[in-house]
Amino acid sequence: MMSNRKLVQFTVNGNPVEVAIAPRQTLLEVIRDEVDLTGAKEGCSNGNCGSCTVEVDGVTINSCCALGVEMEGRTINTIEGLAPGLDLHPIQQAFMENGGLQCGICTPGFILSTDHLLKMIPNPSEEEIRLYLAGNLCRCTGYDKIVRSVQAAASAMSS
């Protein structure tokens, strides 16, 4: 039953969009399947793994646990909008240089959570990094290199 779709307007990475959304469609499904941005990933589908992390009105959320129809008038940023064009954001650069990823499925979520952390705490301690990234799970790299990547990003962005 997709008959009860509603027209919803919001911005994604600065671009206004208007999408016909059924209430049952999660924000993640809307971003991937209607807006065609596939950086946010579906992992656990229940708010544990953080692979679907996006920013809505300035804060990170799990897009698998939000509905597309809730987004009327909201401002959404995804990994695709973090750096313009082919440039890399300093956080992306730091993850690359410090081996903060292997398969890459979790990486967009980790990078957006790092961005949120560094906006709140520009020079976080290791404990703060591990706390703020507790909602992002990685099954291959392990967390030490991710923590080092975040520290390198914090250092690059504050210098």
Partner 1 sequence: MRNFDYVAPTSLAEAVQAFGQAGGRARALAGGTDIIDQIRIGRRTPELLIDTKRVPEMMVLEDDGAGGLRIGAGVPLSRVRDHASVRAAYPALATAAGLVGAIQIQNRATLGGNVGNAAPSGDTIPPLMVLDATVVIAGPRGTREEPVANVFAGPGQLTIQPDECLVEFRVPAPRANTSSYYVRFIPRAEMDIAVVGVGVSMMLNGGGQVEDVSIALASVAPTPVAATAAQDVLRGQTLTRELAREAGERAEEATSPISDVRGSADYRRELTKVLTRRAVAACAGQLGVSLS
Distance CA 134, CA 113 (A): 10
Q: How far is the CB of 149 from partner 1 (least distance, A)?
A: 18
- Indicate the residue type of 136: N
Query: Which listed residue (7, 15, 47, 104) binds partner 1 by CB under 8 A?
Result: 47
Q: For the chain, percent helix, then strand, then coil, each to nearest 5?
A: 40, 15, 45
Residues in contact with partner 1, shown as a per-residue x/- string from 62 to 91 under the rule CB under 8 A: x-xxxx-xx-x-------------------
Nearest distance in Å: CB 135, partner 1: 2
Enter the tokens of residue 148: 């080092």
Nearest distance from C-beta of residue 60 to partner 1, angstroms: 5
Q: Which of 13, 48, 75, 151 binds partner 1 (CB under 8 A)?
A: 48
Give the position of tokens 């969009």. Answer: 17
Asked whether the beta carbons of 157 and 117 are under 8 A apart, the reply is: no
Lookup result for tokens 């399947």: 33
Chain positions contacting partner 1, by CB under 8 A: 1-2, 4, 6, 22-24, 26, 45-48, 50, 53, 59-62, 64-67, 69-70, 72, 113, 116-117, 130-132, 134-136
